[in-house]
Amino acid sequence: MTTGPLAGYTIGVTADRRADEQMKLLAGRGADCLHGPVIKTHPVGAEDELRDATAALIAAPPDLVVFTTGLGVRGWLEAADAIRLGDDLHAILGTSELLARGPKANGALVTAGFDVAWTAPRARYDDITDLLEARDVQGVRIAVQLDGAGANDLCDAIESMGADVVRVPVYRWSLPADHADAERLIRAVIDRRVDALTFTAKPAIENFFEIASLMGLLDEAVEALRDDVPSFCVGPVCATGITDVGLPDPFVPERHRLGAMVQQVAQHFAGKGDDVEMAGTSVRVQGRLAVIDGGQEAWLTDRERSLLTALLAKPGAVVSKPELLRRVWNGTETDEHLVEVTIARLRQRLGPAADGIETVVRRGYRVTAV
């Protein structure tokens, strides 16, 4: 028996970092995963800008250090060790006031043995600027660990308060060099072959829409996310990538962690299955999985699933072939024989429950479901 609240569902994963870990967590709850990384993370490395920024802070220690990401904390410390500045950097950070944008940065700092003076309550850059605006930071030396997008707005805002800002680049984000997997995922979203989409960084959302635009499918991708494919974001900053384009609020876990996001996906779909009785046989429909009479599993194709969903939406009501063509094939087909063939295959998969799909001559089909 296939088990787990996500059995029968396909979850689209857009991340590059920790994607294998995320997909393992999703698969452990029964999901199929479609991986289409829309973002690439590049470490800046230990040379040039990162070395220069670290050396400048050692020469003239900061009063405050703002850490924006957990990856940035770990990357900076590792890079400093690689260029033999690790001990000096640890000493500097140990005597500075450390601010964390959110729980990930906080956790990375605590794990590294540092005391965190303050953590942004909403994990947003606005929290940081609000805090600093309430203090006099004129002439205060503030180091900012940059995120992959550069955190330019944050640094500019702090500089406008009169602070001396030292920008510390640790990594950067870009579009993937090869878009093939991302394009495959975007087409699956548009075709509704993906039941949900996960994001772990705001730039990933921006890249998702940029790649969809390059494909000439931006409107279709936005429509799919608006109407049928829910988005799950690891935190509130990431979520603004969805709301900034006018889409409904995505799902965001209370704890801004990868595991918490996966658990939220599982909880969302746990209540989505349908329990019906067809021809006196119990059927549990869960995504593409139909469990018949409590034991027999039937895995449905995308068309079969959509067809059964359309019939179950109105139990007992006759649904015409033209209506099924419109709903299941999105109006791209007019040959009613496609409906007949798909119905026949669906009946084969449902076994003893097959008689629950009735043919109403010259009118269409109906499901006698309870």
Residue 2 lies in a domain: no
- Total number of domains constituting the chain: 3
Percent of the chain, pLDDT > 70? 98
Do residue 59 and residue 167 come from a single domain? yes
Do residue 212 and residue 130 come from a single domain? no
Q: Is the pLDDT of residue 46 over 60?
A: no
CATH number for the domain including 167?
3.40.50.10090
Looking at 122, 145, 173, the residue that finishes a domain is: 173
Span 183-190, average pLDDT: 97
Confidence (pLDDT) at 45: 60
The answer to whether the pTM exceeds 0.85 is no
Average pLDDT, the chain: 93
Looking at 248, 270, 292, the residue that finishes a domain is: 270
Do residue 49 and residue 157 come from a single domain? yes
Confidence (pLDDT) at 370: 54
- Name the pLDDT band for 179 (thresholds 50, 70, 90): very high
Looking at 116, 150, 173, the residue that finishes a domain is: 173
HSE-CB for 248 with a 13 A CA cutoff:
11
Do residue 33 and residue 180 come from a single domain? yes
pLDDT digits (tens, 9 = 90+) for 26-41: 999 999 999 999 999 9
H helices of the chain, in order, are 19-27, 48-59, 70-82, 86-95, 103-111, 125-133, 152-160, 180-190, 202-214, 218-227, 236-243, 258-270, 302-312, 321-328, 337-350
Q: Which domain holds residue 257?
A: 10-39+175-270
**196 with 9: CB under 8 angstroms?**
yes
Residue 145 lies in a domain: yes
Span 155-176, average pLDDT: 95
Confidence (pLDDT) at 2: 61
Residue 106 lies in a domain: yes
pLDDT digits (tens, 9 = 90+) for 218-248: 999 999 999 999 999 999 889 999 999 999 9
Do residue 69 and residue 148 come from a single domain? yes
Q: Is the pLDDT of residue 143 over 80?
A: yes
Q: Is the pLDDT of residue 7 over 90?
A: yes
Residue 3 lies in a domain: no
Do residue 166 and residue 60 come from a single domain? yes
d(CA 84, CA 325): 66
pLDDT digits (tens, 9 = 90+) for 319-329: 999 999 988 88
